[in-house]
Amino acid sequence: MIKDTKCEIITVGTELLLGQIVDTNSAWISEVLANSGINVYYKQTVGDNYDRLYSVFEKAQARSNIVVVTGGLGPTDDDLTKDVAAEIFKTQLEIHVPSMDKIQAYYDTRHQVMTENNRKQALGFKGGIVFDNEVGMAPGLFYEYDGTWWFFLPGVPREMKWLVSEKVIPFMKQKGILTEQLFSKVLSFQGIGESSLETKLQDLIRSQSNPTIAPLAGNGYVTLRLTAKASNKVESEELFQPVEQQIMERVGEFFTGYGHVPLELQLMQLCQEKGLTVSSCESLTGGLFASTIVQQEGASAILKGSFVSYTNETKANVVGVPQSILSEHGAVSEPCAKAMAEQTRLKMNTDVSISFTGIAGNQPVDGQEAGTVFIAISSNKGLEVHKMVFSGDRNAIRERSTQEGFKYLISYLKKFY
């Protein structure tokens, strides 16, 4: 009986190493096994070469107690998986009669002559178990050798997935090694970078084993994925609770919810809940803020419109920014950002308006260093502005500015409404 599972996945095929076929099998198998409580420790890909296959199988036998192999079970000369494994196991290959009958019947019903090499697909390990493949020709195989469980599956994804779902997982359950499952909970944070969040939680991340804590950075947000191994959901929640409490004590001020809800969707939900309308005036971002909102269904309920005021002429003649502000302070300035937000709110007749002005290029403008961004928010509750300096190319700065705009606007609405 295997108690502490240490699983390894091996994908076989020279075409995988040449990049002619993308290995999706190992990713899919990893996810299924992880969700079933099986710890996947290693992955290997090896070409159709006897000596290299032998070396890879030998290493897997020495360090893992469950090995899942896909590929190399076909009828051709370079399908060597079973031959190499039989030598490792010190056993023989023998024809599995039901599999042979199935292959023969396939050719008989099509009035075709079966070539001799197709008999190779019906070979199994003497003393092993054969899993019937109902969606393909080559069966799946199981063999236990020196305490390690070996599963051999076809490389064709559809056949592999069927065998894992219908044969391998039920076999593991029957043998009693899938008594626990993996449960996950995702906590989302904004206003704190991945490195800062990780630093504040470093001791928790390092010391936790069940549940584990994994930080993941997104575009303007950070998530923590808590993963617990438990026999049921209630037990997993009992494991999550004390860890989540410790996390909230340290970084709870940045917590925005469970799972990740995009900032634009959070803004829409907040505005709909409070009956608010929004407009924007965008220089630096060039309409990215508004276009991000309109990707969401129901955007017209909150967004009235947007000015893309990329030049000073447009800022003055269309938006209504006083020429004196542009002359004295320049377009990349706090006064200009405030005027853009205020004038847009009045012209669009919205409850709140946000403006973006800054430098996406790599040269200073109006006495401001490259990467400088001003974001202003206007409503009848008050006017506020935020200055920041970003690094990166122009599109990275535009995207970061847009995400920061969502973050500041959400915070503003929660504070005043």
Domain ranges across the chain: 7-174, 181-258, 263-416
CATH code for the structural domain at 7-174: 3.40.980.10
Averaged pLDDT score across all residues of the chain: 91
| Preceding peptide of 211 cis, ω within 30° | yes
Q: What is the DSSP letter of 245?
A: H
Model confidence at 209, in pLDDT bands (50, 70, 90)?
A: confident
Q: Sort 195 into a burial class: Cβ within 10 Å, 0-12 / 13-18 / 19+.
A: exposed
Q: With contact defined as beta carbons under 8 Å apart, do 7 and 37 qualify?
A: no
Among the listed ranges 142-146, 257-261, 346-350, which one has the minimum average pLDDT value?
A: 257-261
Query: 37-86 pLDDT, tens per residue?
Result: 888 999 999 999 999 999 999 999 999 999 999 999 988 888 899 999 99
Model confidence at 179: pLDDT above 80? no
Burial profile 325-345: b = 16 or more Cβ within 10 angstroms, e = fewer: bbeebbbbbebbbbbbbbbbb
Q: At what angle do helices 263-274 and 394-416 cross, to 10 degrees?
A: 30
The arithmetic mean of pLDDT across residues 357-366, rounded, is: 87
Among the listed ranges 70-84, 129-143, 187-201, 382-396, which one has the minimum average pLDDT value?
A: 187-201
Which top CATH class is 181-258? alpha beta
Model confidence at 311: pLDDT above 80? yes
Predicted local distance difference test score (pLDDT) of residue 3 = 65
Model confidence at 267, in pLDDT bands (50, 70, 90)?
A: very high
CA angle 98, 104, 109 (to 5 degrees): 120
Among the listed ranges 280-284, 338-342, 360-364, which one has the minimum average pLDDT value?
A: 360-364
Give domain 263-416's CATH superfamily.
CinA-like (3.90.950.20)
Alpha-helical segments (H) within 12-145: 14-17, 25-35, 50-63, 81-89, 97-109
The arithmetic mean of pLDDT across residues 211-221, rounded, is: 79
Residues whose CB is less than 8 angstroms from the CB of residue 389 and which lie 6 or more positions away in sequence, other chains included: 369, 371, 372, 373
Model pTM? Answer: 0.58
Q: Facing residues of 45 across strands? A: 11
Distance CA 98, CA 123 (A): 11
